[in-house]
Every structure is written in structure tokens, then in C-alpha cells.
Amino acid sequence: MNHLLKSSVRISARSSGLLRGPSALGGSRLLNVHEYVSMDIFRGFGIPVPKSGMATSVDEAKKLYKDVIGEGKDCVIKAMVLTGGRGLGHFSNGFKGGVHLCNKPGDVEKFASQMLGQNLITKQTTKEGLPCTKVMLAERMYMRR
């Protein structure tokens, strides 16, 4: 019954012009968090997520890879910048892409050093881009059908 009442109020308010944009009774997204934060929240509630962590320096990224992901395992490194299109973006130093697969020794160090301290420029940022001060490493997950 409660759902029916909310639906009726929402329909009446919209048709009368009282509501414009997101419904006052429905949800609207006002919170943006980095992936590593959301993964920590999920993990805290027992929701399975890949092994992952955040680093603010190349040395931290190497340690995270060794201690959390596991040396020799494939992982994904992602620039933690709150913008869409990170994978297709480019950095102010010319490095292409804010999401990379690390599958060779030394990839984590190489990619982290190219991302950290640079601005990531995407279709959703200004031409100056946004600073990349953090990277997230996550174990590679293989899609199964």
C-alpha cells in the first residue's frame, strides 16, 4: 500500500508541475566516491569483490601489488580521478589511458609512474584535466559464461 501511495503522489506532483527533474520521493545520486572506497564498503558488508587497494606513490603501488594482489598475477591499474572516460583519456605527459592491464614484471611501476602526479584529460574534464594523486590496483577477474 505504501508503494501505491508514493507512486500516486509522484504521478500527481509531476502532472501538476510541482516536480521538475529528479523526484523528491525517488532517489537522486549526490554522492561520488572512488572505486577503492566503494570496494571497501562492499567488503565491509561481506559482498565479494576482487582483491584491491589504493596507492599514492609508485613505491606504495609496488608494495600493494606484491602484498595484496600477489607477485606474478595479472592486475588492473586505474587512475583514481572522479571523471568518466578514464580508459580513453590521456595524461598531460602524453601517456594514453587511465586504465591498464598489468601482465608483465615491471608494468605496475611503469604505469603508476606515468599516471601519478599528472593531469588526466577526458571528454568530461576541462582541457587542463584533473590531477591523478591516487591509483587503484585490483586483481584481474576473468569473465566466465
| Average pLDDT in the chain | 86
Q: For residue 101, what are the domain limits? A: 51-139
What pLDDT does 11 receive?
A: 56
Q: Which residues, in sequence order, are CB contacts of 13 under 8 Å at separation 6+?
A: 19, 23, 24, 25
Q: Is the pLDDT of residue 105 over 60?
A: yes
Residue 121 lies in a domain: yes
95 lies in some domain: yes
pLDDT reading at 33 higher than 90: no
CB 55 within 8 Å of CB 61 = yes
Residue 68 sits in a domain whose CATH number is 3.30.1490.20
Residue 124 lies in a domain: yes
Q: Give percent of the chain above pLDDT 70.
A: 81
| Inter-residue contact 78 to 136 (CB < 8 Å) | yes
Is position 67 within any domain? Answer: yes
Residue 32 lies in a domain: no
Each residue's pLDDT tens digit, 44-61:
999 999 999 999 999 999
Q: Tell if the pTM clears 0.85, that is, is over it.
A: no
